[in-house]
Chain A
Amino acid sequence: MPRPRSTVRPPRVRIHPLGDTAVLAELGSRLDTALNTRAIALAAALKKRRDVRQAVAGHASVTVQFDPDQITHEALAAAIRRLATKRPPMEEPGRLHRIPVVYDGPDLDEVAQRLGLTRQRVVDLHGRPIYRAFLVGFVPGWAYLGPLPDELVLPRRPTPRTRVPAGSVAIAGQQTGIYPLDSPGGWNVIGRTTVKLFLPDSDPPSLFRAGDRVKFFAVDA
């Protein structure tokens, strides 16, 4: 059966060297589910090549490590452009995770005030969408989730905290996330969850994978 024609034009790919054995292929610069879907599909297609050692999708990009003994930068760039023009296969819906959150984060009041909302309104808005895990990375188990409702968009804290406890649920820009480990961090912490994001004794060791879907719901402390 012929597939319906996509109305989305294939993105123009910008390919930059990332040293002598890697490239960064940028499909766009917006937080966009369609771009991320394309990036994940492109990474999957590139990983099948023997001259590619590693291909990992970013939000709207793919970082490709390759074997320069098997392919040149130019030939790899041409191959990436060719693969990027292909319509990505219909994406299976990602696994859905429902995450219980106690909304009592140290920044909740300040967030509500800065956004001109009530605390309850912030909680309701945060729990409304089904977010997409755009990228798993930065630290073990961290996933960039989004996009946030427009009403919740605000910058990071001007001064990062030196320690944010594991399980902290936070927002910044158009995104939300859960700190998997105690770590420094500059996002606005609005709640906490007991769900473990980093699973060192599982393989893969992350609860979330790129393309998964995440829904938060409020629970009492």
Chain B
Amino acid sequence: MTETLRVVQPGILTTIQDAGRPSAVASGVPPGGPMDRFAHAAANLIVGNDRGAATLECTLTGPRLVATRSCVIAITGGDLGPSIPMWTAIQLAAGDEITFAGRRTGARAYIAVGGGVIGDRWLGSTSTNLMCARGGMHGRALVAGDVISTGEWHDPPVAGRTLVEQLRPAYADLSLRVIRGPHFARLTRGSQQELWTAMFTVSPSSNRMGFRLDGATLDAPGDELLSFPLVAGVVQLPSGGQPILLMADHQTAGGYPVVAVVTSASMPIAAQLAPGDELRFEETSIEDALRARAAQRAVLESLTS
């Protein structure tokens, strides 16, 4: 474990995230992990880490970091205006600074460091859970003065490794592909129509737990449901009719109708939405969703060679 980066300015919300703690859901603890799993994995693979190693997830405004020793880093995900090229392994020398000019596209950038970021381990994961104040940097977002330590690194030949633009997710796409949810049929005819045609806006009360969506009020009458375990990507419909898209730190169970579920290949796109951004849902088949998923995985595989 070596001290590698010092935080000069933390940005709005920068947290340590590894692949998450999926088995903790049986105790009601959110699975957590990166909002954009593709960008997180790609950043790690570009610097020669395991794809599940911990990275820094930066939200809207990136941090200002200074290298305290030489290291290799990669920045992926949303374009928050970093001072180095994105999606590329970059060698830093002691004293080099990383800064972010401001959001251009997307909402979340990932900074991977060769050797992987070290954080507090909680329930099998170093992902930061802000609600429980556990994991990562002592359960909280980074603050000025924090020192980021990294694990052992065997100097793999990654200098210049890059993911070319056409293989990166189409973050500017406003359409999220979804599969019909178990309770889609509860929607009234009109609400079914609206789910596919309405332009929704991510509301200000949105965070790593989920996005509230403004734009259309949907109606799914019927008896109350018994609560069941949920997964990220679920679009649930509370009684007010304002849909909520569940994200990485989602509630682990709920009893609202699930009218749609965002496909695994579209979740990285969803993760790059910020309050005020627009989106619409486009129905797809499981077969097409799995093809898109396989294509993304092939891109990640290409980074391991």
Chain A interface (Cβ < 8 Å from any Cβ of B): 16-22, 24, 26, 29-31, 53-54, 56-63, 65, 68, 73, 135-142, 144, 173, 180-181, 198, 200, 203-206, 209-210
Contact = CB atoms under 8 A, between A and B. Distances in A.
A53 B122 CA distance: 20
A21 B25 CA distance: 17
Contacts of B224: 173
Interface in B22-43: 22-30
Given A24-B228, A29-B226, A200-B134, A19 B29 contact: no
B262 to A, nearest CB: 7
B175 to A, nearest CB: 16
A57 B30 CA distance: 16
Interface stretch (B154-162, B213-221, B253-261): B253-261
Interface of B: 22-30, 122-123, 131-132, 134, 179-182, 223-231, 233-234, 251-254, 258, 261-265, 286, 289-290, 293
A136 B223 CA distance: 22
B179 A19 contact: yes
A18 B28 contact: no
Contacts of A73: 286
Contacts of A53: 22
B264 A31 contact: no
A21 B230 CA distance: 12
Given A19-B261, A138-B28, A58 B253 contact: yes
Contacts of B233: 19
A126 B45 CA distance: 55
Top-10 shortest CB links A-B:
A137-B253, A58-B228, A16-B182, A19-B261, A206-B27, A20-B289, A59-B226, A63-B229, A56-B229, A137-B252
A136 B227 CA distance: 10
A19 B226 contact: no
B254 A138 contact: yes
Contact of A54 (B23, B29, B179, B228): B23
Contact of A205 (B22, B24, B227): B24
A68 B261 CA distance: 16
A20 B231 CA distance: 11
Contacts of B22: 53-54, 65
Contact of A56 (B26, B180, B234): B26
Contacts of B286: 17, 20, 73
Contacts of B231: 18-19, 22, 63, 65
A205 B233 CA distance: 25
Contacts of A17: 179-180, 182, 261, 286
Given A19-B231, A24-B228, A58-B227, A140 B27 contact: yes
Given A58-B253, A138-B251, A19 B27 contact: no
A58 B229 contact: yes
Nearest to B265: A20
B234 A210 contact: no
Given A17-B179, A19-B262, A140-B28, 15 more contacts: A18-B181, A19-B233, A20-B179, A54-B23, A56-B26, A59-B226, A61-B228, A63-B228, A65-B22, A135-B229, A137-B27, A137-B229, A140-B30, A181-B131, A204-B26
B241 to A, nearest CB: 16
Most interface-central of A30, A59, A180, A209 (chain B CB within 10 A):
A59
Nearest to A206: B27
Nearest to A32: B226
Contact of B227 (A18, A65, A144): A144
A31 to B, nearest CB: 6
Q: Which of B23, B225, B228, B258 has the largest count of A CB atoms less than 10 A from its CB?
A: B228
Nearest to B177: A20
B289 A136 contact: no
Contacts of A203: 123
Indicate the member of A29, A56, A62, A209 with the most B CB atoms within 10 Å.
Answer: A56
Given A140-B28, A205-B123, A206-B27, A19 B253 contact: no
A23 B228 CA distance: 12
Contacts of B131: 139-140, 181
26 contacts: A16-B182, A17-B182, A17-B286, A18-B182, A19-B262, A20-B289, A20-B293, A56-B26, A56-B229, A58-B226, A58-B227, A58-B253, A61-B228, A137-B27, A137-B28, A137-B229, A138-B252, A139-B252, A140-B27, A140-B132, A144-B227, A198-B28, A204-B27, A205-B29, A206-B27, A209-B27
